[in-house]
Amino acid sequence: MDELLNIKFPQLKGPSPKTKLFLGVFCLFLLASFLGFLAGATVSGFYFDQVKDFLSKFNIRLPEKNQTSSQTQTETKVIYVPQTSQEEAIIKVVKETSPSVVSIIITKDVPVFEEYFYNPFKEFEEFFGPTPFEFKIPRYRQRGTEKREIGAGTGFIISEDGMILTNKHVVLDENAQYTVFTVDGKKYPAKVLARDPIRDIAILKITSSKKFKPLKLGDSDKIQIGQTVIAIGNALGEFKNTVSVGVVSGLGRTITASGGGIIETIEDVIQTDAAINKGNSGGPLLNLKGEVIGINTATVMGAENIGFAIPINQAKRDIEQFKEKGKITYAFLGVRYILITDEIKKRYNLPVNYGALIIRGEKGESAIFPNSAAQKAGLKEGDIILEFNHQKITPQNSLAKLISKCKPGDKVNLKILRKGKEFNIDVILGERSE
């Protein structure tokens, strides 16, 4: 028993300081990893659906929680950010309408001259002998003609058989030839069918058996200031089917435009800030439905994006008349006049600030057209037409606008102011055509 009690067990030694440090660090790492896993799981579960819902507003789709990496890669291929609705509408309109917008090239046979030198003293050498010095004067002589491009404009197709609408000033030269180029580069000879005698509108026809896609004509009476519009045209006669976008800046404007050797006052036009450059004349002004609401006609030189278009409803009248009669006609009174405003009243010392003052033209042209309805009714220079069919004449309700609502042969009543006295007369309107 004593021996058993004297048995000595081997002594166990404690861990060294280095071992204790290692074990401590390892335990901390395990604890941090475990806590991080719990936090990540909690955040993922709590916020995933909220993040997913937020990104879905932008059409960005996240993979589902249980989705594999290969599935995630497949989904990423369909992520996109769409165009705004307005951009999509503009792009759609341009794609659909561009094939119906054409470039009009104007060519003409023009004389060709060559230069030569002439000695004016040569014919005197017979009497005085040769001159001591060489003396030559340049002169020019015609050596035939050649066809040259003298201008360009734009038009758009309005019927399957190739009828085209454009500006009158684009096709004003009766001795020129007109060629139409479509957006695909094909060219067709074109004939001028009719020119509007009052407005800057003309109708052409392509010579082809092909069927064309016409543009849809809208209603210009429904135009709103501020609405988006698109202009397409042969800018500068060089950049075909150039697209510009803007808004309707104003309605019912009256402008004096010049071009093609003519100066013309155009009433009741649309103002827009969509860029209308030289060569855009005759192109369509479109709304976001792809409907033509105007014909681009003029721009203000030296201004920033101030352009004008003729309301399409005015062109509809011309198209219908041509189809019915084969020509465009208007009721015609036969007077030259200026609309009276406060400024005109002051300048001419007039007794009223409204009406139409019958006056000579800028170059002294007669105030009353010979053999016109006005001459037959006894109107005179200096008369003021106050009312037309009992409607007061103002810049907003001009004489030209009132006459345009009538037909040749219509009987109308005019209130006249002459030398301080008012009286009424009946007039049977004449006809004006190209």
Locate all alpha helices (DSSP H) within 140-216, ordered by sequence: none
**Which string of b and e fits 302-322 if b means at least 16 CB within 10 Å?**
eeeebbbbbbbbbbbebbebb
111, burial (CB in 10 Å: exposed 0-12, middle 13-18, buried 19+): exposed
If phi > 0 it is left, if psi is from -120 to 50 it is alpha, else beta; for residue 110 that is beta
End-to-end CA distance of the chain: 148
Catalytic site residues? 169, 200, 281
CA angle 64, 67, 71 (to 5 degrees): 110
Residue 186 has a CB neighbour count (10 Å cut-off) of 11
The Cα 382–Cα 335 span in angstroms is 11
Are 147 and 107 in contact by the 8 Å Cβ rule? The answer is yes
The Cα 412–Cα 331 span in angstroms is 11
Residues 6+ apart with CB under 8 A from 67: 75
Closest CA to 425 of 397, 381, 385, 370: 385
Which amino acid, one-letter code, is at 207? T
Are 361 and 338 in contact by the 8 Å Cβ rule? The answer is no
The Cα 335–Cα 337 span in angstroms is 6
253, burial (CB in 10 Å: exposed 0-12, middle 13-18, buried 19+): middle
Question: Chain-centre distance of CA 373, in angstroms?
Answer: 38
Supply 168's token pair. Answer: 């009158």
